[in-house]
């Protein structure tokens, strides 16, 4: 059974979190070794297992390099389900359900910070674009924070004042809505 293989071990959960939170990201062995704080052999074993299950795909960045890069396989039949589990694990599903859907006037939502990098964090950093009632937003955030046991930090922009260039200084970001 594939589920028996997927959720065994803390390193696998961290690796899946990193890849499934931001499906556009690519990772490589040495970077994961540093980020996860484990030996390259441990990372290699997990990458091989996920690759054997076809949950991730291996590719070389350029022809002239020996570095293998890995990316989540978004065409895998379990991709959406697994991503949903990871979103629940970090609490983003609750934020979307209990905050963003109730606001109504949200045009765009970006995830930034550690979660956008695929690292679990006690903070959820969001950039919201829209004509948003701040008092209502902060009321919803307060309720959502108790549900997910994380602090939510928000940057607000009106649609006419926002461009994605504003996000270039935050590092990695991911569009949620």
Domain boundary residue, one of 84, 108, 136: 84
Rg (CA), the chain: 18
The predicted structure's pLDDT at residue 1: 44
Q: Residues 28, 99: one domain? A: no
The structural domain count of the chain equals 2
Give the domain extent around 102: 91-175
The predicted structure's pLDDT at residue 47: 87
The predicted structure's pLDDT at residue 75: 92
Q: Residues 96, 171: one domain? A: yes
The predicted structure's pLDDT at residue 153: 92
Domain boundary residue, one of 29, 57, 84: 84
Q: Residues 78, 135: one domain? A: no
Where the chain has pLDDT below 50, the residues are 1
Euclidean distance between CA atoms 87 and 83, whole angstroms: 6
Q: Residues 61, 11: one domain? A: yes
Domain boundary residue, one of 84, 117, 149: 84
CA torsion angle for 38, 39, 41, 42 (degrees, to 10)? -20
CATH number of the structural domain spanning residue 57: 1.10.10.10
Q: Residues 77, 103: one domain? A: no
Q: Residues 74, 42: one domain? A: yes
Q: Where are the alpha helices (DSSP H) in the chain?
A: 2-6, 10-21, 29-36, 40-52, 79-90, 92-95, 101-103, 113-116, 134-148
Report yes or no: 90 and 47 within 8 Å, Cβ to Cβ. no
Q: Residues 25, 79: one domain? A: yes
CATH number of the structural domain spanning residue 95: 3.30.460
Q: Residues 72, 140: one domain? A: no
């Amino acid at each position: 059974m594939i589920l028996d293989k997927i959720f065994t071990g803390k390193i696998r959960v961290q690796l899946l979190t990193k890849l499934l939170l931001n499906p556009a990201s690519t990772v490589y062995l040495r970077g994961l070794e540093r980020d996860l704080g484990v030996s390259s052999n441990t990372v290699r074993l997990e990458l091989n297992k996920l690759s054997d299950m076809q949950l991730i795909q291996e590719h070389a960045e350029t022809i002239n390099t020996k570095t293998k890069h890995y990316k989540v396989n978004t065409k895998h039949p379990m991709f959406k389900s697994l991503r949903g589990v990871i979103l629940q694990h970090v609490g983003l599903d609750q934020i979307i359900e209990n905050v963003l859907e109730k606001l109504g006037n949200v045009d765009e939502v970006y995830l930034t910070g550690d979660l956008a990098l695929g690292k679990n964090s006690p903070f959820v950093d969001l950039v919201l674009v829209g004509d948003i009632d701040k008092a209502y937003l902060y009321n919803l955030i307060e309720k959502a924070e108790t549900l997910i046991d994380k602090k939510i930090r928000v940057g607000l922009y009106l649609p006419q004042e926002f461009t994605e260039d504003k996000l270039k200084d935050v590092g990695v970001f991911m569009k949620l809505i």
